[in-house]
Structure formats: C-alpha cells, structure tokens
C-alpha cells in the first residue's frame, strides 16, 4: 500500500508540475512569397501604385518631378519572442529595377525597410521616402538603401551605392555594386538578397542581374539588430525622386524569418526508486470479510486518485487552452488592427485635460472632437469622443474596422483608439487648418477667402481618395457622408477625408443593399432618399455638391437673402448653366482671383456629378482624369434632368433622426442617421 500511495503522489506531483508549466509554444517562423503583387496583402502610401502585379513606388511621368511613395506588407511580422528571449534571423529576396526616360535625370533611389510604423511616408529627394525633412530623427527604421544620387548631406560616397541605414540616412556602411558589375541605374531587372543571422550578428547583401545568388556578398556588415527589432515590425519598400524622371519598380518579393524553435517544458521528476520504498510482501488471509475490506481500500486507493488526476488533467488542459487562445488573440489583434495603437483612457484624459471645454475643436454626429497633447510622444492629435457609448458603438466599430485597413494620402490618418470607462474614443492626426466648411465659410465672412489654388487641389485630392475607396480597395467602401465638414485640411491645405461612421463595405460588382437612409440633407442623392440603396454613385452626388460649394462659396441649402425662401445649390447652379451664365456661380468673395477656365471646369464637374439620374453621373476615376487634364469634360445638359419615382418616399418623419448639433448655420440642413 505504501508503494501504491507513493506512486499516486508522484503522479499527482507530475501532473501538477505539467499544469503549472504547460508545453510552451514559441513564435512561429514566417514564410512569405509573392511572385506578383495585389492590393489584398499590401498598403500603398504616397505616390506608389500597383499595375499588372508590379509596384511602382514613385510617379511615372516624362517630365522631372518630386515624388515619394512606399509599399508596406499589411500584417506585422514577429521578430522577437518575449517568452524565449529570441530575436529572429531573416532572409529576403526581391527583384527591382530603376529606369529612366531621360538618362541624365537620375535620383534618388529606393529602399527595403523594417519599421515599427506602417502609416507614414517620408519626403521626396534624398530622404528616400523614409524620413521627413523637418524631423530627421522621428521615424525608426532599419533599411537597405539602393541610392542613385550622391547627397553630401548624408555622406553619400557616390551616386551608385548600397548601404545599411539604422534610424538615419547616414549609412553605417556602403558598397559600390559596380564592383560586381551591377549598375543600379541600368534599368535592368536586379535581384537582391538580404540575409541577417542573429547568432552571428551579421548582415549580408547580394546583388545580381540573374536569379542565381552570388557566392560573395556585395555588402557585409557586422551588426547586432536585436536592439532595433521589436516584437512586431512592418516590412516594405520606399523610393523618392527630386526633380528627376527616375522610375522605381518592385516586381516580386519573398521573405522569411528563422530561429524560433519550440521550447519543451522543464519537468522536475521526483527521484523515487524501488530501493527507496520498503516492500512488504502480502500475507495470505482466508477471511472473506478482510478480502472485501481490502477490495474497498484498493478501489478507494486507486479510484479516488485516478478521479482526482482526471480533474487535474482537465483543469490543466483548460488552462493551457486559455493560455494558447490568449496568445492567438494577441497575435490576431496585432494583425487585424495593423496600424492604430490602443491608448489607455488615462493617456487620453490627460492629453485633453480631462476633456476640458477649452480643448473642444468641433462637434459631429458621432460626438465631440478634442485637441489632445500627448507630451510623452511629443504629438498633437484630435480625439473623437462618442456622446453615447452604447448608441455610438455601431458607428465606432464601423469607423475603426474600415479606416484601420485603409491607406491613402487624402485620408485623415487614424492613430489609435480606446474603449474604457464606458467611453468610445478615436485618436486621429491633428489637422491644423480644421474642416473645409470652416475655412470656406467662416474665413470668407471675415475677408479671408480660401485661395483658388487650394480649392482646386482639394477637389483633386477628394476625387483621388474616393477613386481609391470605390475602385482600388480590395472591397469597395461607400462613405455615405461626403460633405465639407467631414473634409479636413492638413498643414498644406490638402484634403483629408474623415468620419467613416456611416461607411459601408461592399464586394465589387455586387448589388447595393437597402438600408435606412443616413447622411446629411443637401448632399443626399435622390435615389438614395427614395430607396435607401447606397452605391458609389451616391458618393459621386455628394462629391458634386461639395465641388459646387468649393466653386461658389454657397451652402447646399441656403435661405435666400431678404426672404424665407430656401435655395438648393444644385438647382441654382443649373439655372445659371441653362442661361449660359455658369461662370456667374463663382464665389464673389474671391474678387475674380481665379483661373476662369478651371472655375468653369469645376462648376461643370459639380453639375455632372450632381445629375439627378445616377446612370449619367461619371465615376470618380473619370472625374479625376478630367481634373488632371487627362480626359475631356463631360457634356452637361442645359436643362436639369427630372426623375419620377413609382412609389412614395419610403421614410416618414418618425423613421429618421434629426441631429441638429452638426448644423452650422442653415436650419434646413440636417442629418439623417440610422437609429
């Protein structure tokens, strides 16, 4: 019996030890291979683009220009395992070409980079799309540069070199590829291999015109990157030009991490041997009662510990499963919300001085917007705070899930989010010039009308981002609330579209889904008001109204001076067009300081987009081409088309919600929001 008890105890201790120290599963190695590229797996920033499965990183123009762009793999890659304290080794292979339509106009090159950030694109010129000229030390990165211009400011040795850059464009070490008969500017397809071996603390770069890896590296650097590779990092490519016609293409890419291995549990067995346990031979007993008692004792001695062991195993398995699910959830969280960070409520409350009224910079249907100073980060942000946490949850999740996956230079960058203390909070990059409606109307009333060059650029930027949402995303995004108060202006007066609380994702080519009509009166397309079906053409209509506002300086619905009559902007502009006086719709506050040809073009584009017949409205891509002088303007009929509907408006006043907090001046301009 003693040996049996000891066996049970040792088994329990073993199981308890296993429960306390379940099998540890270390990080998994990553293996990526993209012989061709698609929008599904990559984010494009700046001037980069995708064409026929190949990424172009800068503008493709025949005239010298300044341009920068980058392409980033959507999902963060794990480079460091906290549990095993292992930093991964990595190896990457990609093919690129640097060409030029003008052989005398080269510069500035491209890079392969690893960065904790996936939202910013650097400046053109010698900054290679990696850093901003005004904040050279802000961006963190490890990069291999393929530089085609000598920039003495960054100690470049020549105009044809490969270098390792860490948090600075002054390379740690460089090498000239002509030593291996490779010219970066040849326009030929070049294959690069970059290998980092963490155990040896060594990085090698190989270059070749062929697909066969050379025996000797072009660049060999003894460097320890473990201090620069965080747990999760983003990988991508960037490039830039400055007054040149250089072209940068990435045709394929593969990437893998190595060095992560499973770690076995450390089991501490209790050294119990047969010699340490006294063995008492059984004594024959003929009494049947004693036999029964012995059977009972034997059953209890074996059955109860077995049952207890089973319970321990079950609890151990549940604990292990929860631990594994928790780890998986963290990884998924990092993968799904790739860019925005999760702020604590304490951070945001401190940054807004406890949501003090002096920090309020605007109001919207979602709630109140505050200016926030994050002193530890040295940044200024805009925090959008839901006025009703429960009622606003749907819009909050919509905005977070949609905009977190979008990357475009004309979108308001989402920096982070917070769900604590019953609050729903979104943190955006602060836009110093506020919303378009405030500059278009408030400043004009004070004698400071928005300059024409800015207005035209805003029209182009807004057309560009709507083209991206409608046609270039993996899934089509319908904004449903395009209006001047949702268009922010950055430091250079570039348009940044925001407020995705009403946005909807659709698969390309699928029929629109009927929903309760939502948006702002004056911007809503007639068919959307009638049937509640949002399509890209409903956004086009809203865009047309915004363009007419830009050109005329008038609101979508205004009270006529000296009377109670309400005037619809589209009707008013079309009346002038029918009389051959469309140019008279130009904003009088500008005192004629505009390009008349461009003004007329903008007004006619506004009418084309605001056509009551959705089938006659142009696509946003067509609008962008017209604005960029790549296509002829559409012919706009002199008389405004009329539409009739077979049934009455499906909405009653009880079916809609009026949110007057978002109204600036006109009493008739109200929002329709789903309950």
Just list the catalytic residues: 481
C-alpha distance from residue 602 to each of 122, 347, 478, 504, 591 (Å):
31, 44, 23, 28, 17
C-beta neighbour count of 264 within 10 angstroms: 8
296 token code pair: 């009972």
- Give helix 452-467 / helix 620-627 axis angle, nearest 10°: 150
CB 412 within 8 A of CB 498: yes
Q: Exposed/middle/buried for 540, CB within 10 Å: 0-12, 13-18, 19+?
A: buried
> Beta strands 341-342 and 80-81: pairing type?
unpaired
Question: Sign of the C-alpha dihedral, residues 368, 370, 376, 377?
Answer: positive
> Residue 646 burial by CB count (10 A; 0-12/13-18/19+): exposed, middle or buried?
exposed
CA distance 414 to 428: 5
What's 194-216 look like in SS3? EEEECCCCEEEEEEECCCCCCCC
CB 50 within 8 A of CB 39: yes
> Closest Cα to residue 573, out of 607, 601, 540?
607
User: Under the phi-then-psi rule, with left for phi > 0, alpha for psi from -120 to 50, and beta for the rest, what region is 521?
Assistant: beta
Binding-site residues from annotation = 384
353's tokens: 């001085």
Q: What is the DSSP string of 211-244?
A: SSPPSS-SEEEE---TTT--SEEEEEEEEEEEEE
**Strand 89-100 and strand 190-197: pairing?**
antiparallel
Q: What angle do CA 550, 553, 556 make, to 5 degrees?
A: 85
CB atoms within 10 A of CB 591: 8
Measured CA to CA, the distance from residue 512 to residue 251 in angstroms comes to 36
Alpha carbon distance 405, 401 (integer Å) = 7
Q: 481 to each of 100, 437, 484, 620, how far by Cα in Å? A: 42, 14, 10, 16
The DSSP code for 658 is B
Please state the residue numbers annotated as binding site for ATP: 384
Name every residue whose Cβ is closer than 8 Å to that of residue 661 and which is 6 or more positions away in sequence: 363, 364, 365
Give residues with Cβ within 8 angstroms of 141, minimum separation 6: 113, 114, 115, 130, 165, 166, 167
């Amino acid at each position: 019996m003693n040996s049996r008890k000891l066996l049970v105890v040792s088994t329990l201790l073993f199981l308890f030890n296993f429960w306390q120290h379940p099998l540890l599963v270390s990080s998994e190695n990553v293996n990526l291979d993209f012989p061709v590229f698609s929008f599904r797996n990559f984010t494009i920033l700046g001037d980069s683009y995708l064409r026929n499965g190949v990424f172009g990183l800068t503008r493709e123009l025949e005239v010298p220009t300044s341009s920068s762009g980058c392409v980033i793999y959507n999902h963060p890659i794990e480079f460091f395992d906290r549990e095993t304290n292992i930093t991964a080794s990595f190896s990457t292979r990609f093919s690129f070409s640097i060409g030029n339509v003008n052989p005398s106009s080269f510069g500035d090159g491209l890079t392969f980079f690893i960065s904790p950030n996936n939202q910013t694109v650097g400046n053109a010129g010698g900054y290679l799309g990696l850093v901003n000229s005004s904040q050279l030390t802000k961006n963190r990165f490890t990069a291999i540069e393929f530089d085609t211009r000598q920039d003495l400011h960054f100690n470049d040795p020549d105009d044809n070199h490969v270098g390792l850059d860490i948090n600075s464009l002054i390379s740690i070490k460089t090498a000239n590829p002509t030593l291996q008969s490779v010219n970066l500017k040849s326009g030929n397809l070049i294959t690069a291999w970059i290998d980092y071996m963490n155990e040896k603390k060594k990085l090698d770069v190989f270059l070749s015109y062929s697909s066969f890896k050379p025996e000797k590296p072009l660049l060999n650097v003894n460097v320890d990157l473990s201090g620069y590779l965080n747990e999760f990092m983003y990988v991508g490519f960037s490039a830039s030009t400055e007054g040149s016609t250089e072209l940068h293409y990435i045709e394929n890419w593969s990437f893998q991490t190595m060095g992560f291995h499973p770690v076995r549990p450390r089991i501490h067995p209790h050294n119990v041997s047969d010699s340490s346990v006294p063995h008492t031979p059984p004594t024959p007993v003929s009494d049947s009662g004693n036999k029964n008692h012995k059977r009972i004792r034997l059953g209890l001695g074996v059955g109860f510990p077995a049952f207890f062991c089973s319970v321990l195993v079950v609890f151990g398995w549940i604990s292990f499963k929860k631990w594994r699910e928790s780890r998986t959830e963290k990884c998924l969280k990092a993968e799904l919300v790739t860019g925005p960070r999760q702020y604590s409520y304490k951070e945001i409350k401190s940054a807004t001085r406890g949501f003090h009224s002096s920090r309020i910079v605007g109001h919207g249907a979602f709630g109140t917007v505050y200016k926030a100073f994050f002193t530890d980060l040295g940044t200024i942000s805009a925090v959008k705070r839901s006025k009703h946490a429960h009622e606003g949850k749907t819009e909050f999740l919509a905005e977070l899930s949609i905009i977190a996956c979008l990357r475009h230079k004309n979108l308001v960058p989402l920096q982070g989010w917070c769900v604590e203390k019953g609050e729903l909070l979104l943190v955006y990059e602060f836009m110093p010039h506020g919303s378009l409606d405030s500059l278009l109307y408030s400043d004009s009333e004070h004698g400071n009308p928005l300059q024409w060059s800015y207005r035209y650029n805003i029209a182009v930027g807004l057309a560009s981002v709507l083209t991206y949402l409608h046609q270039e995303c993996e899934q089509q995004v319908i904004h449903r609330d395009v209006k001047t108060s949702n268009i922010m202006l950055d430091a250079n007066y570039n348009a940044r579209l925001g407020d995705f609380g009403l946005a909807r994702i659709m698969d390309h080519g699928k029929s629109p889904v009927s929903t309760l009509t939502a948006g702002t009166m004056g911007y809503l397309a007639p068919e959307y008001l009638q049937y509640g079906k949002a399509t890209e053409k409903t956004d086009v209509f809203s865009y047309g109204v915004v363009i007419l506002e830009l050109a005329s300086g008038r609101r979508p619905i205004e009270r006529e001076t000296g009377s109670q009559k309400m005037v619809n902007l589209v009707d008013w502009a079309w009346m002038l067009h029918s009389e051959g006086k469309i140019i008279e719709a130009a904003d009088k506050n500008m005192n004629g300081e505009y390009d008349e040809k461009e003004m007329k073009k903008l007004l006619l584009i506004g009418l084309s987009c605001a056509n009551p017949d959705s089938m006659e409205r142009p696509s946003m891509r067509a609008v962008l081409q017209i604005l960029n002088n790549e296509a002829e303007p559409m012919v706009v009929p002199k008389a405004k088309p009329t539409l009739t509907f077979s049934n009455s408006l499906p909405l009653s006043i009880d079916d809609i919600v009026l949110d007057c907090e978002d109204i600036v001046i006109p009493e008739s301009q109200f929002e329709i929001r789903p309950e």
